[in-house]
Amino acid sequence: MEPTRDLHATLTDLLDRVLDKGVIINADVIITVSGIPLIAVNLRAAIAGMETMLEYGLMTDWDEMTRFRERENRKEKVLSEART
Amino acid sequence: MSANNCGRYVYCIAEAGEVLNFGDIGIDDNEVYTIPYDSLCAIVHNCSAEPYSSSDKDIVHRWVISHQRVVETALDRFGTVLPMSFDTIIQDTDEGSAEDNIRKWLVEEAEDLKKKLDRVRGNEEYGVQVFWEPNTLAGVISQTNPELRKLEEEIRSKSKGLAYMYKQRLEKLLKQEMGKEAENYFKDFYHRIEGCVSELRVEKTKTEVDKQMLINLSCLVARGKTKPLSDELENINKMDGFSVRFTGPWPPYSFVTVK
């Protein structure tokens, strides 16, 4: 089967990549949203505006990030077990 | 420098020390050009030191598509690039202009950036998602699993009340077996796909209407070497109750994030 690059069919895939991935600059030369570096916040929420970001709640974001990292760790563990 | 121009929106980093102007191909038709330092350059446009933000989905989508087009143009020109995350804007500081700060950052991060460039050089990213239809598979499992079959036989000879209890047991057991099957299929597909790619990452699965995502992978594949992966995915796609989504090639967004 051939991969698709059709823009309409792959918009979600594009958003997942451009908004959640890519190189992140972790330095004080990067712009901030209300004093908070963009890397520390949910970029999707930040783009939608400060109000949305506060609606999401920064604490929940951090919480979500921590949980996500934990899930990823666990997944990796499962996979390294699967590999052996 | 005007206050409106004190930021540089960075699209990607390339391994080229040249000054180049790509024209008005950027977000909102901004002029895109390179800021080189040594053997690296940043592909940027001038902007204010404000993030692009909008609650209008269509506008955000348009920006993201423009971001991607610039990265692809740079990719065509330079062969290998490190795509940045959306809204990466470097600003003026007391120590220097935005351009100075980009150069300084390129110097400071040179080693890490080159390592990342080495990792993705000659490769393209593909997205692979395998979906399964739980109903189709539940049907197969209840036909083939001896324990489930036995339970089902027993239900027939039971009174109404008992049959109800047995049914509940049957459903619980079926759920367990489905979980086991999902895990087995996950491992099986992971291994089969792993053999066809340079590198792969497991991504979060997402729920979709009427089908379940079993596995979500980002794959790094050597340019022009997608045939083994295409063939393997074709085999999986042909399996009863399974379907595959295969997208790309993408710039290597998923393989440049972590330091």
pTM: 0.82
Q: What are the pLDDT digits (tens) for A20-79?
A: 889 988 777 777 665 555 655 667 766 666 555 555 554 445 455 555 665 666 666 666
Ordered alpha helix ranges (H), B79-145 = 98-120, 134-144
**Which sign, positive or negative, has the C-alpha torsion A37, A19, B253, A78?**
positive
CA dist., res. B44 & res. B33, Å (int): 6
- The pLDDT of residue B161 is 83
Q: Which CATH architecture has domain B123-255?
A: 2-Layer Sandwich (3.30)
Flag the least confident range among A41-45, B193-197, B224-228, B233-237: A41-45
Confidence of residue B152 (pLDDT cuts 50, 70, 90): confident
Q: Where are the domains of chain B?
A: 3-120, 123-255
* A52 in B contact zone (CB under 8 Å): yes
Q: Check if A77 contacts B (Cβ < 8 Å).
A: no
Q: Decide if A22 touches B, using CB distance below 8 A.
A: yes
Q: Minimal Cα–Cα distance from B174 to chain A, Å?
A: 23
Compute the distance between CA of residue A70 and CA of residue A12 in angstroms, rounded to an integer. 24
Read off the tokens for B105. Answer: 């950052």
pLDDT confidence of B235, banded at 50, 70, 90? very high
pLDDT attached to residue B24 = 97
Each residue's pLDDT tens digit, B190-215: 999 999 999 999 998 987 777 789 99
A-interface mutation test, from B46, B87, B209, most A Cβ less than 10 A away: B87
Q: Are B245 and B129 in contact (CB under 8 A)?
A: yes
